[in-house]
Amino acid sequence: MNKLKTKLLSFSCLSILLLSTTLPAVAKPKPTTTTIYQRAKKELPTNLYGLYRIIDRVARANKMDNLPWRIVIVRKYNINAFATNVNLIAMYDGILDQLSGDSSALACVVAHEMGHHIKRHIAISQAKKKELVAKIREEAEREVLGEKRAANAEATATAVGSAVSRRVVKGPFGGLLSSVLGSQSRNRLSRGQKRINRIVKQKQQELEQRIAQESRNNELEADEVGYIASVKAGFEPEGCLRAMEVLARTPGAELDTTHPAVPKRIEALKKLIQKYPPQTLVKEGEALISKTKPLTYDISLDKTSLRINSVRGGSVADDIDKKFGL
Ligand SMILES: [Zn+2]
């Protein structure tokens, strides 16, 4: 910055300072926070505005504002939300509708999905699934190879046996003996194939069970992030319990599937509230929020989601100008 500009700036700062002390409180320049939020309220559809405000607070109160987030609303009445791609959070119409008016419950759901990204559940589960499938294939191939070797050995023995039998037992009886030996070999092969099919099926079931178990563990981990991060952002701790209450009313909620049964999740949440007292979390979050500025937002380049920018903002051009000047 040149000297003149510095002087002008310090002069204008001084004059603002002087003015602000002499003018009545109403004439004070409005803080930028109001401007960004007011603009958002005007520009964004109501639900998207709510989600932007939630992500802004959760990200800033939990040091999750280092990278941009994306949020999309899926026009389908499902009582669900999910995390996918990189840092994308998808909310179904159904969950937004069911949690209408309850920003704390919605913040818990949003923070849960952010947790899946932070903990790399999506990236890891895809890579792990690939790895497990490769392992199954390898094990099945080994079994197939073993069975093939055994069958081949038997087929060789049968061929030798039938040649011997033709020599020793002449006439139609020799042929009969050889066909008996041949069918034994075929039976052995078909038994082997059936056994291999059984092994593959069993291993696939084991894989699915392992994936489901891992997915249940991930859900509990994301629930923990959902509780801690939303409470740090200043939302009510009971918000998570209210979100669970809605889930508990969906069919099959009492069963362990890819998600743990909802009653188990509620129990785990109650333990978390004991383990991490809300007052402590709120204080930690407030300290971080007060040190940061509201995050800006833009339409993402995917054209379907809202991008909530990181602390660095949404424009490389602006960032470079700020750093090095024009
Ligand atoms: Zn989840």
| Chain segment 101-114, per-residue pLDDT in tens | 999 999 999 999 99
**Residue 90 CA to ligand 1 centre (angstroms):** 11
292 C-alpha to center of ligand 1: Å? 28
Give residue 322 CA to ligand 1 midpoint distance, Å. 39
Distance between Cα 234 and ligand 1 center (Å): 21
Report the separation in Å between the CA atom of 229 and the middle of ligand 1, taken as the mean of its atom positions. 14
Give mean pLDDT, residues 160-187. 62
Take residue 176 and report the two structure tokens written for it: 């009969």
* Lowest pLDDT segment from 136-140, 222-226, 238-242: 136-140
pLDDT, mean of residues 270-292: 98
Percent of the chain with pLDDT over 70: 78
Taking the centre of ligand 1 as the mean of its atom positions, its distance from the CA of residue 41, in whole angstroms, is: 28
Q: Among 84, 106, 104, which Cα is nearest to 93's?
A: 106
Output the pTM of the full model. Answer: 0.75
Buried b (16+ CB within 10 A) or exposed e, 208-231: eeeeeebebebbebbbbbbbbbbb
Q: How confident is the model over 209-226, as a mean pLDDT?
A: 93
Residues 6+ positions from 74 with CB-CB distance below 8 Å: 90, 91, 92, 93
Across the range 78-106, mean pLDDT stands at 96
194 C-alpha to center of ligand 1: Å? 38
User: What separation in Å is there between the alpha carbon of 109 and the centre of ligand 1?
Assistant: 8
Lowest mean pLDDT among 42-51, 210-219, 311-320: 210-219
- For the segment 247-255, the average pLDDT, to the nearest whole number, is 91
What integer pLDDT is reported at residue 284 of this predicted model?
98
If pLDDT is split at 50, 70 and 90, which confidence band does 6 have?
A: very low
pLDDT beyond 80 at 168: no
